[in-house]
Amino acid sequence: MAQACRREAPQRPGEIAVRRGLGRIDGDRLAAGRVSNGCVHVRTLEQARDLAFHLAQGCEEPDAIAIGLTELMINAIEHGNLGIGPEQKAKLLERGLWQSSIERRLRMPEHAGKFVSVSYRRDGTSMQVRIRDRGEGFDPAPHLAFHHERRGAGHGYGIAVAGASGFETLRFIEPGNLVEVTARLEAETPRSLAPGRPGAAKRPDAHAM
């Protein structure tokens, strides 16, 4: 089982998972597969994308895993922590205000202490990641598959995208504010990986669906 996160969010620049003070682990060591387990706290969209990129290194399908982890973390930030509902998100996307709205909400006093906890564990053949937000949870069942009637609506695809992203398993744990995924690692994780080399993920450049 992935290591549980402590309640408080560490803020130590220099000892960071994604070069932003997200946790007490080093991003290069994490990407190279030399950190077997740990916990990181993320608050922003940029932090989520960067952490997903690092965690995906060494996976059999690193690009797909990076996209899937990005979708799940952003879903936790926008819906779980900030309370942006599907219809509200669709309107924000239509008006081009989705990202600025998230940034504005993150600055609000009521959201200042909220973060998403991401714990992970690598055992040599697979990686388990658990993502927990501070929301009340939800029913994920309607969102786990693509629905043609939602196509073009601007929302509702993030979890389905994650489910189709090469994870071995994906399950939400009641009440729905905790999701656990597993992904296969390469037979022998390289000691050093860089984008463009085999086994290295491209940095995600996707917004949540």
Give the range among 13-17, 105-109, 178-182 with minimum mean pLDDT: 13-17
Nearest to residue 59, comparing CAs of 144, 206, 173, 181? 181
At residue 93 the predicted structure's pLDDT band, cuts being 50, 70 and 90, is very high
User: 126-154 pLDDT, tens per residue?
Assistant: 999 999 999 998 877 777 665 444 444 44
- The mean pLDDT of 174-187, rounded to a whole number, is 93
Phi, psi for residue 126 in degrees, rounded to 5:
-150, 165
Question: Between 98-106 and 86-94, two packed helices, what is the crossing angle to 10 degrees?
Answer: 120
pLDDT of 199 over the 50 cut: yes
Whether residue 4 is predicted with pLDDT greater than 80 in this model: the reply is no
Averaged confidence pLDDT in the chain: 77
pTM of the complete model: 0.75
Return the H-helix or E-strand segment holding 118. Answer: strand 116-122
| pLDDT exceeds 50 at position 192 | no
Q: What is the set of domains in the chain, with CATH numbers?
A: 27-184 (3.30.565.10)
**Minimum mean pLDDT range among 55-64, 73-82, 99-108, 181-190:** 181-190
